[in-house]
Amino acid sequence: MDDNTRTPGTVVRLFTPDGGGRTSPHDSRQLEGSLLTFSGNENEFYVGSGRAKEKMPLKTRHIAVETTAIWKMWVDARIVETVTAIAGRYPVRAQLGHLDQSEWPPGLGGAPADPWQDSREVKLLRESDYSPFVFCTSSGGGRAACDALRRSMENARVLRPGQYPIIELAWAPMNTRFGVRSRPDLRICGWWNPDAPTIAPPDDPAIA
């Protein structure tokens, strides 16, 4: 891509060698954990991509560390550019350029496919062992779930700075123009605060 076509704003230029498809993280070189995705056809979460992916059971609990909204530009099945902000705000599609649909590559059914993809990423730590994961999604239902989680995180930190939501993996029904479909649900089931005092369990001999 010619540098003259670069989008103004907070832009990251990169090369993604894994070819993991449109649910891949925005920069595989900076991926701080295993890729986690959701399949609406199966109502399941998966770790990894391609033939190597494995199911992660529903109700697995994670600590949500950070959410990110990010536009990704795809060329020849590779992410070539990402944008997170223009003039300090998350951009709308019209600000990203490449609006001429006659120049878009063919997508499903041969219809022009927008090269820009509105995506969300959530950094997670599995509660049982603190293993890192990055949940990536670009579906409308997935974005809604991530945005709801972000709002809850922002509201909670106003009341008690430093706390992080503990979420469990779930799914929820969603009405669409094609009928009822499923979407990922990052369901908050508690809060983790690194500054909270450690409390020994009731059966600990130390408190007997």
Residue 52 structural domain: 3-207
**C-alpha to C-alpha distance for 8 and 102, rounded to whole angstroms:** 23
Burial class (CB in 10 A: 0-12, 13-18, 19+), 87: exposed
Q: How many helices and strands, by DSSP H and E, does the chain display? A: 1, 10
**C-alpha to C-alpha distance for 127 and 54, rounded to whole angstroms:** 19
Query: Domain count of the chain?
Result: 1
Residue 128 has pLDDT above 70, yes or no: yes
**C-alpha to C-alpha distance for 134 and 144, rounded to whole angstroms:** 17
H or E segment at 158? helix 140-159
Residue 4 has pLDDT above 60, yes or no: no
Residue 113 has pLDDT above 70, yes or no: yes
Q: Over the chain, what is the mean pLDDT?
A: 83
CA angle at 186 for the pair 150 and 70, rounded to the nearest 5°: 45
DSSP annotation of 31 reads -
- Of 97-111, 126-140, 185-199, the one with minimum mean pLDDT is 185-199
Give the mean model confidence (pLDDT) for residues 138-153: 95
Task: State pLDDT tens for residues 185-195.
Answer: 999 999 998 77
Q: What is the pTM of this model?
A: 0.78
